[in-house]
Structure 1
Amino acid sequence: MNIKFITLICLVYCIAKVNSIDPADEAIAKSLIPARVFNWDRKVNQPSDEQKTEIERELLALNFSPKLVEDLIRNSDKDYWPASLKSHNPKNDPNIDENGLFDGYKCKRSPGKQEAVIVFHFDNTTLPKKMMVKPGFIVFFLKEAIEDYQRISESDEHAANALKPARVSKWGYNLSPPPSPFIREATNKLIGCGFSPELVNVLMKNSDEKHWPAALSLYMHTTDEDKRHTLLDRYRCKRIPGHYEGVIIFHYNNKDMPEKFKANPGFVVMFDFGAIDKFVPRADSARISSVDKMCNILQ
């Protein structure tokens, strides 16, 4: 066999070995909690030594290899970020990433109390090269930029699917925070439809504008009607049963929307009367179960 060919194979193997993550490290990384960044504009370009030291200590305590931890901590500075993230400037990007440029990142919440995520290369191999660095990188954030993924149970998803679809025609009629009677009725009706109290509590918490997706708050108040409706009309909404007008926008039901338009597991918007179209055909004609019948009675 040609000596040059053998040398080339060895060189490729060595490079791959250097850039790959150890199987033990990968197993630990997969055990970290998945996280979603809903506001990349709040990233910290130059984290403090104190922030780095805390995460370094937490990662080593999980038995990550010292070499991997060293690389990740180094890559927490903006100078070592991927090219696309490093060049992103919210001042030049009208505060909204409509194309969901960074939505594709699969992130892990960093251990400890710091508001930060780890983006491992092995977990994001399908992304363009300009969006990744090996073996990964850390991004610190100011508060209220990250949330853990919450998967709703099968029974909650079934109850959600049973709710009637809704179309909001007047987003400007929103009420935030909603009046107490709106919250009380919506809570009782949703629990009566078979939703778990735990999920209902989260949804009601997310009825306040400060818990809405970053993009929704901005587009809700834009004076450009065409721009507002073009984007917000893409939401797949579910009508909250009862006398008052309100919708739930579930994360699982709007996966095609950019992350800045979503909240996990979902959020509620309550409205003054006349904001929701009265007649919207059901999305499917599947057989109505006992839960469906209960919801239809309440509606």
Structure 2
Amino acid sequence: MRAIHSVNPNPQNLEETIEYNEILEWVNSLQPARVTRWGGMISTPDYVLQAVIKRSLVESCCPASIVKELIENAHERSWPQGLATLEPRQMNRRYYENCVAKRIPGKQAVVVMACENQHTGDDMVKEPGLVMIFAQSVEEI
């Protein structure tokens, strides 16, 4: 531990780096996904559906530090301005069609992580990421 402190004397920075690396490792373990019908998005999932998605995140080894935030970000009330309601979603469709999305294993849902989508504006993605759930139309690439 003393050797770590001599290289990086700020333990908080080290902790943040380790957490970020865990997130990247998890994101990289997921399959890239393509959404074929964005109109099938469930923007207001109920608690039962959120619980099902949460269980899949945990089973996929999603870091515990971000599971709760990702589930909160599965509902449009937590989405950034560019996705928050139907009208901006329709206007911004070409932007979110270009987002990097990863499939939540076994579900018609994807995560759009901020660390993979810096090319989008702040009004299109939220830290640590968004969960988007669909009635159908999620395919692995």
Q: Could you tell me the TM-score, scaled by structure 1's length? A: 0.38
Q: Say whether the 8 Å CA contact 1:236–1:249 is kept in structure 2.
A: yes
Structure 1 SS opposite 2:123: helix
Aligned with 2:115 (options 221, 237, 252): 252
Distance 2:71 2:49 in 1: 10
Q: C-alpha distance in 1, partners of 2:70/2:132?
A: 10
Aligned amino acid, residue 64 of structure 2: P
* Structure 2: runs of 5+ lacking an equivalent: 1-15
Change (3 A) 1:194 1:279: closer
Q: Which letter maps to 1:181?
A: V
State the partner residue of 1:120: none
Tell me the residue number matched to 1:188.
55
Distance 1:156 1:194 in 2: 10
CA distance in 1, matches of 2:119, 2:90: 23
Alignment deviations for residues 60-112 of structure 1 (CA, whole Å, 9 cap, x no partner): xxxxxxxxxxxxxxxxxxxxxxxxxxxxxxxxxxxxxxxxxxxxxxxxxxxxx
Separation in structure 1 between the aligned mates of residue 110 and residue 82 of structure 2, nearest angstrom: 17
Partner of residue 74, structure 2:
207
For 1:197, the equivalent position in structure 2 comes to 64
- Structure 2 residue aligned with 1:163, among 13, 20, 30? 30
- Quote the offset at 1:193 in angstroms: 1.9
Corresponding residue SS for 1:260: coil
Is the 2:73–2:79 Cα contact (8 Å) retained in structure 1?
A: yes
Counterpart of 1:157 in structure 2: which amino acid?
L
SS at match of 2:25: helix
Q: Distance in 1 between matches of 2:112 and 2:118?
A: 11
Aligned equivalents of 1:255 and 1:196: distance in 2?
20
Provide the residue aligned with 1:266 in structure 2: 129
Aligned ranges 1:75-224 → 2 under 5 Å? 152-217=19-84, 218-222=87-91
Q: Bigger relative contact order, structure 1 or 2, given CA contacts below 8 A and separation 6+?
A: 2
State the Cα distance separating 1:279 from its structure 2 match: 4.0
In 2, distance between residues paired with 1:163 and 1:279? 10
Q: What is the total number of aligned residue pairs between the two structures? A: 123
AA of the residue aligned to 2:50? I
Q: Which amino acid aligns with 2:25?
A: H
Number of the residue aligned with 1:105: none
Measured after TM superposition, the shift of residue 185 of structure 1 is 2.1
Inter-partner Cα distance in structure 2 for 1:279 and 1:165: 6
| Aligned 8 A contact 1:207 1:267 in 2 | yes
1:176 & 1:216 partners in 2: Cα distance? Answer: 9
C-alpha displacement of 1:199: 0.5
- The answer as to whether partners of 1:159 and 1:194 remain within 8 angstroms in 2 is yes
Kindly provide the CA deviation profile for residues 216-265 of structure 1, in whole angstroms up to 9, marking residues without a partner as x: 2343244xxxx62x2221100011112x3111110010011111111011
Q: Give % identity.
A: 24
Q: Which runs of 5+ in 1 are unaligned?
A: 1-149, 281-299
Q: Partner letter of residue 127 of structure 2?
A: N
Q: Aligned partners of 2:140, 2:105: CA distance in 1, in Å? A: 14
Structure 2 length normalisation: TM-score? 0.77
Q: In the alignment, which of 97, 101, 104 is matched to residue 237 of structure 1?
A: 101
- AA of the residue aligned to 1:175: I
Q: Distance in 2 between matches of 1:206 and 1:220?
A: 15
Q: How many Å separate the matches in 2 of 1:210 and 1:179?
A: 12
